[in-house]
């Protein structure tokens, strides 16, 4: 969440910043008004508590001096104030809850360097690889759902039979390709990131910490019986690993990586890029995550992007990096770079990685701080996360790009050791 002190001290600046994300300035006015009422309510409650404490001291003095009448009168006055204190405490608690609720719904403020814009069409392309667009043969212009069906490595009908539409089922070499990609990515980042295997189901407060709740409850899968949520990304459990903790500055940046299944309802996506594995409810992904100081964050953000790019270069896939405009930024993000891979069979740029700097927005929700090396009060950490990368769309791009004239698929040399040398997926024997 944003720092409430910023809204108190400079509401106009907060209005201007959030307006870049399309937030109505009236929402900031509501927050400031609620905060003012909350502080007044807390002040009244604390004043009553102080008076009750003083009366309790006077009662004790009266009893020690043997003045029972005075003690009785003071006790009755204290009880009367106590009723008022209970009411004031209830009012203060409700007011504080209102402020927290408003803060939980407000998005993070965009970084100064984030480009202005309203949606994906306004996202500038930062760079592309290779710099010169590639030429693709006709046999590479076949969409992956046709390639997968012909090779027997993607069975969308049986996936739908098991779980419904947008739950793909991979078979044989197609399934092995997913496993190879996961091992490839984890090994690639083992030099700097600690591998974690977090739970796939998490508590409500874990989802709240990242900003996925309460705003995006309709996008998530909720197990109501146990009040657990299926994670939409490993960012969720990794962010909360140190929830409520104080880290040491010497341990920052603290880098973590995890391979997990991810679950998303994709509400409202019906009929929109839903063929094949372009938009699915369940997919595998390797996530990069870091806790850092504010000073470390820009360099950490850049190296996360470069790591994701390096994976795609080793996989020899054409891609471009786009700088998300303010209107397209996620709820928790101050700055995001998306990496989009080109799939020649679909003739589409597919988002394969999204690398975000969330400043201290998530850390405030999760209460994660660090102790400065030179002393002083604990400071909220900054969090960063990035896909490295989401496999469903990489899978699609690989089988389309690698398709040969005879219908087979040649996979990149970087995966050779993870495929046991079986880089060619042949059509089934007839």
pLDDT at position 213: 96
pLDDT at position 429: 75
- Outline which parts of the chain fall under CATH 1.10.287.40: 4-105
**In 198-223, which positions are buried (b, 16+ CB within 10 angstroms) versus exposed (e)?**
bebebbeebbbbbbbbeebeebbebe
CB count within 10 Å of CB 103 equals: 18
Model confidence pLDDT, tens digit, residues 270-328: 555 778 999 999 999 999 999 999 999 999 999 999 999 999 999 999 999 999 999 99
Is there a contact between 231 and 200 (Cβ–Cβ < 8 Å)?
yes
pLDDT at position 408: 97
Using CA atoms, how far apart are residues 402 and 142, in angstroms rounded to an integer?
11
pLDDT at position 268: 54
Using CA atoms, how far apart are residues 240 and 210, in angstroms rounded to an integer?
8
pLDDT at position 272: 57
> What pTM, to 2 d.p., does this model score?
0.93
User: Pick from 140, 145, 182: which is nearest to 160 by CA?
Assistant: 145
pLDDT band for position 427 (cuts 50, 70, 90): confident
Q: Assess if CATH 3.30.930.10 describes domain 120-425.
A: yes
- Outline which parts of the chain fall under CATH 3.30.930.10: 120-425
Sheet holding 254-263, edge to edge: 125-129, 319-323, 335-343, 348-357, 382-390, 282-292, 254-263, 194-196
Model confidence pLDDT, tens digit, residues 181-205: 999 999 999 999 999 999 999 999 9
CATH number given to 4-105: 1.10.287.40
Q: What is the mean pLDDT of residues 109-123?
A: 97
Model confidence pLDDT, tens digit, residues 362-421: 999 999 999 999 999 999 999 999 998 889 999 999 999 999 999 999 999 999 999 999
The CA–CA distances, whole Å, from 222 to 200, 219, 228, 244, 421 equal 12, 10, 6, 24, 41
Q: Dihedral of CA 83/102/236/224: which sign?
A: positive
Model confidence pLDDT, tens digit, residues 29-45: 999 999 999 999 999 99
């Amino acid at each position: 969440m944003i720092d409430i002190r910023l809204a108190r001290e400079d509401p106009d600046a907060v209005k201007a910043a959030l307006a870049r994300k399309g937030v109505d300035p009236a929402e900031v006015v509501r927050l400031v008004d609620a905060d003012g009422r909350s502080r007044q309510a807390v002040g009244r409650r604390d004043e009553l508590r102080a008076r009750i404490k003083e009366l309790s001291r006077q009662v004790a003095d009266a009893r020690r001096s043997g003045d029972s009448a005075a003690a009785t009168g003071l006790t009755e006055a204290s009880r009367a104030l106590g009723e008022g204190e209970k009411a004031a405490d209830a009012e203060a608690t409700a007011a504080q809850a209102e402020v927290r609720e408003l803060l939980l719904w407000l998005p993070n403020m965009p970084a100064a360097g984030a480009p202005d814009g309203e949606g994906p069409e306004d996202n500038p392309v930062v760079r592309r690889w290779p710099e010169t667009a590639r030429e693709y043969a006709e046999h590479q212009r076949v969409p992956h759902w046709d390639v997968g069906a012909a090779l027997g490595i993607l069975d969308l009908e049986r996936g739908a039979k098991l779980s419904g539409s947008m739950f793909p089922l991979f078979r044989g070499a197609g399934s092995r390709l997913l496993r190879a990609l996961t091992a490839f990515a984890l090994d690639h980042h083992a030099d700097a990131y600690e591998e974690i295997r977090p739970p796939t189901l998490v508590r409500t407060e874990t989802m709240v910490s990242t900003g996925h709740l309460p705003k995006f409850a309709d996008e998530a899968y909720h197990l109501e019986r146990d009040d657990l949520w299926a994670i939409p990304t490993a960012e969720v459990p990794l962010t909360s690993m140190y929830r409520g903790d104080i880290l040491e500055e010497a341990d920052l940046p603290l880098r973590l990586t995890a391979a997990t299944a991810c679950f998303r309802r994709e509400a409202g996506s019906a009929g929109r890029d839903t063929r094949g594995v372009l938009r699915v409810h369940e997919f595998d992904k390797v996530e990069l995550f870091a806790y850092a100081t504010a000073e470390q964050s820009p360099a950490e953000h850049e190296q996360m992007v470069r790591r994701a790019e390096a994976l795609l270069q080793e996989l020899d896939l054409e891609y471009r990096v786009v700088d998300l405009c303010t209107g397209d930024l996620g709820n928790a993000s101050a700055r995001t770079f998306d990496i989009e891979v080109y799939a020649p069979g679909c003739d589409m740029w597919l988002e394969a990685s999204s690398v975000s700097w969330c400043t201290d927005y998530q850390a405030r929700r999760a209460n994660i701080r660090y102790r400065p090396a030179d002393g002083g009060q604990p400071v909220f950490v900054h969090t960063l996360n990035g896909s490295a990368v989401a496999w469903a769309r990489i899978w699609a791009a690989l089988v389309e790009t690698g398709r040969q004239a005879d219908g087979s698929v040649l996979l990149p040399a970087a995966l050779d050791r993870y495929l046991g040398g079986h880089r060619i997926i042949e059509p089934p024997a007839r």
